[in-house]
Amino acid sequence: MIDLQSSPEVTEAQARRRPVVALESTIITHGMPFPQNVDTARRVEQDIRDAGAVPATIAVLDGVLHIGLTDTELDRLANAEHVAKLSRADLAVCLAAGGTGATTVAATMIAAHLAGIAVFATGGIGGVHKGAESSFDISADLQELAQTPVTVVAAGPKAILDIHKTLEVLETLGVPVIAYGQDSLPAFWSATSEVHAPLRLDRPDRIAAAHAMRADMGLPGGQLVANPIPQEDEIPAASLAPIIARAQAEAEAQGIASKSVTPFLLDRIFALTDGASLTANIALVRNNARLAAEIAKCLCNPGS
Ligand code: PSU
Ligand code: MN
């Protein structure tokens, strides 16, 4: 049997049919350095509460799938070393073996859906890596969006990915990619890109209605909402391009592969921008949490 443990806050919210927003934990263990990782995790949870919803950070601790972490549990995860990065392929094995691990976007979607949570906020999803035509490195996050009915709010594909190939795969899989409030596809650290977003919605209630409509139509899968980073926090794409290229060249030279690619690139870009990439990353995750809370509230009270 799956051992699923909801935090007291999440249990109460669900009993009272209040809006809940899921959060992933790989961003804590593999996406940001200590102590900014735990500070950000706490701040993002508070942003969701301030917006009138309840946060549910998801992780596996000693073989238990946690939906919402207490302060102590969050601290433990953020301070732990060599925590496993759990995607769809890893989740059941980790639970069966009594292990501890942080959930990626794919695994967080699976857990959120099991727990009856429809909306999830993160920074960026995994996608098609540059050079995927030879490495075959395509994140399981994309397949998950195609099959698990959770609306994921992210800041658009990171420039470390091949944006065009990522969009092509999402289109093939039938995943709606919805830019929030603009025509251009946001590009993570930058609010806009030269790519026109496949879809656009300007209101959280419409995003919630589209989520509900998929279910009504019997369409499996979720939605990807691409929420632009606030302009005052963005790093222009042109100034990042050479840094990303350098980080990518280092990854290749050092033979970094598979699950290590995304954490390696994020860490190198953090160092090469003197921390500026992390400041922007924190701002965009908080911005996504606020939008996710609005969508979750609309899903709770349709038509209000
Ligand atoms: N993007 C970020 N920070 C992250 C990740 C993505 O800005 O920490 C994490 C997410 O958990 C995402 C995972 O699901 O990386 C994708 O990893 P991979 O490319 O190995 O599937
Ligand atoms: Mn990968």
Counting ligands in written order, which one lies closest to the CA of residue 125?
Answer: 1
At 125, is the pLDDT very low, low, confident or very high (cuts 50, 70, 90)?
very high
**C-alpha to C-alpha distance for 3 and 74, rounded to whole angstroms:** 18
pLDDT at 61: 96
130, 158, 259, 297: the active-site residue: 158
| pLDDT confidence tier of residue 301, bands split at 50, 70 and 90 | confident
Q: Using CA positions, which residue lies closest to atom 10 of ligand 1? A: 104
Q: Which amino acid makes up residue 173?
A: L
Residue located nearest, by CA, to atom 7 of ligand 1: 124
Please tell me the number of the ligand nearest to residue 259's CA.
1
Residue 302 has pLDDT above 90, yes or no: no
pLDDT tens, 179-214?
Answer: 999 999 999 999 999 999 999 999 999 999 999 999
State the amino acid at position 128 in one-letter form.
V
249-257 long-range contacts (CB < 8 A, ≥24 apart) are 252/131, 257/135, 257/137
Q: Which of 262, 268, 269 to mutate to test the pocket of ligand 1 (most atoms within 8 A of CB)?
A: 262
Give me the residues near ligand 2 (ion), CB cutoff below 5 Å.
137
Domains for the chain: give ranges and CATH numbers: 4-300 (3.40.1790.10)
Read off the pLDDT band of 96 (50, 70, 90).
very high
pLDDT, averaged across the chain: 96
Query: Checking DSSP bridges between strand 223-226 and strand 177-180, what pairing results, if any?
Result: parallel
Find where tokens 């769809």 sit: 88
130 assigned to active site? no
**Annotated catalytic residue 85:** no
Q: How far apart are CA 47 and CA 29, in angstroms?
A: 20
pTM of the model: 0.96
Q: What is the pLDDT of residue 171?
A: 98
Beta bridge partner(s), residue 60: 65, 101
Kindly give the number of the ligand 1 atom that is closest to the alpha carbon of 104: 11
User: How much is the pLDDT for 156?
Assistant: 93
Q: What is the DSSP letter of 30?
A: I
**Whole-angstrom distance, CA of residue 145 vs CA of residue 87:** 13
- The span from the CA of 194 to the CA of 185, in Å, is 8
Q: What DSSP letter does each residue of 206-240 carry, written as one string?
A: HHHHHHHHHHHTT--S-EEEEPPPPGGG---HHHH
Structure confidence by residue, pLDDT tens digits, 227-278:
999 999 999 988 999 999 999 999 999 999 999 999 999 999 999 999 999 9
